[in-house]
């Protein structure tokens, strides 16, 4: 069901991109939208991991440098039946972690220095299991595609706004008399908002799924519950400086970039309280 729901959202995003391109620029706009999506997805597929790691200043680490982290990663990767990802450390006091890469064979996991300092072994295991769940479930690729398609829709809408300003939108189109100009106007303002909502829904769904899969991977949810409680407390006090907003959607918890109801409403992460409550419901359920 989760796979079907994720696929449906990606299809909706793609259809929305094509429809937005057609409404804003006719057949030519539709063709531009398709080419744009293909280019952006190619870049996302092959280079999104390098972009995310470079933008956060993540540095690769060897087994000798962090044997504690490597031991946890190797043990859990074996349980998940996936290759051990490359490991990176981000020079950041705010505790956090993220996974990136196009598939389990080309995956990387990055943790901040702050996370390594505050997590005990059980909590670290819960965090790493969550990130490996993203890797195993191909969430990284799915999120990257969703982000690039949503970005293409937003870019098309921006082009449409400039066309309106300079009076070029719909001037030579045959369907103006049928309301084509009104449809284009609606698409300019509504398509980016709809794309954002679909992307947020997809991202939030994937976080819940990774929490559940990570808990089952470990065999109990207590470590991840404790880790999320710590991460929530620390990230409300320590601003993030190394991880960029564009990479924050990959993190296990939302970094401190803003606060307030509106910020939470449009966050790529579900509320921590709800994630913890969902994990606590698993306590009395068989996890293996």
Question: Do residues 169 and 24 make contact, with C-beta atoms less than 8 angstroms apart?
Answer: yes
- DSSP character for 192? H
Considering the domain boundaries, does residue 33 fall inside one?
Answer: yes
Instruction: Give pLDDT tens digits for 195-224.
Output: 666 667 667 788 999 999 999 999 999 999
What's the pLDDT score for residue 117?
A: 96
Considering the domain boundaries, does residue 87 fall inside one?
Answer: yes
Considering the domain boundaries, does residue 286 fall inside one?
Answer: no
Q: Which of 123, 125, 131, 207 is catalytic?
A: 131
Considering the domain boundaries, does residue 180 fall inside one?
Answer: yes
SS3 call for 187: helix
Q: Give residue 172's region: left, alpha or beta (phi > 0; psi -120 to 50).
A: alpha
**If you average pLDDT over residues 66-92, what whole number do you get?**
95
Instruction: Give pLDDT tens digits for 121-175.
Output: 999 999 999 999 999 888 876 766 666 666 666 666 666 665 555 555 444 444 4
- In this prediction the pTM is 0.75
Considering the domain boundaries, does residue 142 fall inside one?
Answer: yes
| Known active-site residue 122 | no
What's the pLDDT score for residue 16?
A: 66
What per-residue string of b and e applies to 2-17 under the rule 16 or more CB within 10 Å gives b? eeeebeebbebbbebb
Our count of domains for the chain comes to 1
How are strands ordered across the β-sheet holding 97-101? 59-60, 86-90, 107-112, 97-101
C-alpha–C-alpha distance, residues 84 and 76, integer Å:
9
What's the pLDDT score for residue 168?
A: 52
Q: Which two tokens stand for residue 209?
A: 């799924």
Considering the domain boundaries, does residue 101 fall inside one?
Answer: yes
Considering the domain boundaries, does residue 275 fall inside one?
Answer: yes
How long, in residues, is the chain?
Answer: 288
For residue 145, the enclosing domain spans 2-280
Considering the domain boundaries, does residue 288 fall inside one?
Answer: no
């Amino acid at each position: 069901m989760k796979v079907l729901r994720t696929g449906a959202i990606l299809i909706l995003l793609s259809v929305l991109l094509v429809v937005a391109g057609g409404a804003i620029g006719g057949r030519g706009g539709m063709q531009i939208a398709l080419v744009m999506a293909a280019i952006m997805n190619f870049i996302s597929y092959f280079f999104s991991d390098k972009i995310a790691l470079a933008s956060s200043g993540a540095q690769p680490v060897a087994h000798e440098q962090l044997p504690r982290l490597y031991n946890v990663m190797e043990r859990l990767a074996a349980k998940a039946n996936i290759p051990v990802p490359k490991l990176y450390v981000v020079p950041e006091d705010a505790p956090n972690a993220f996974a990136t890469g196009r598939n389990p064979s080309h995956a990387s996991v990055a943790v901040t220095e702050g996370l390594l300092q505050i997590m005990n072994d059980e909590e670290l295991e819960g965090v790493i299991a969550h990130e490996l769940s993203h890797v195993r479930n191909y969430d990284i690729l799915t999120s990257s595609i969703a982000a690039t398609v949503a970005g293409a829709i937003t870019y098309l809408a921006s082009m449409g706004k400039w066309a309106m300003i300079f009076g070029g939108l719909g001037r030579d189109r045959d369907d103006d008399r049928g309301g084509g100009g009104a449809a284009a106007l609606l698409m300019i303002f509504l398509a980016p908002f709809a794309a954002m909502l679909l992307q947020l829904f997809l991202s939030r769904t994937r976080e819940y799924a990774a929490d559940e899969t990570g808990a089952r991977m470990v065999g109990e949810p207590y470590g991840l519950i404790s880790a999320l409680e710590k991460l929530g407390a620390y990230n409300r006090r320590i601003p993030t400086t190394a991880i960029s907003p564009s990479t924050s959607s990959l993190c296990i918890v939302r970094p401190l970039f803003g606060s307030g109801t509106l910020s939470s409403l449009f966050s790529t992460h579900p509320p921590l309280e709800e994630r913890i409550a969902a994990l606590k419901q698993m306590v009395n359920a068989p996890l293996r």
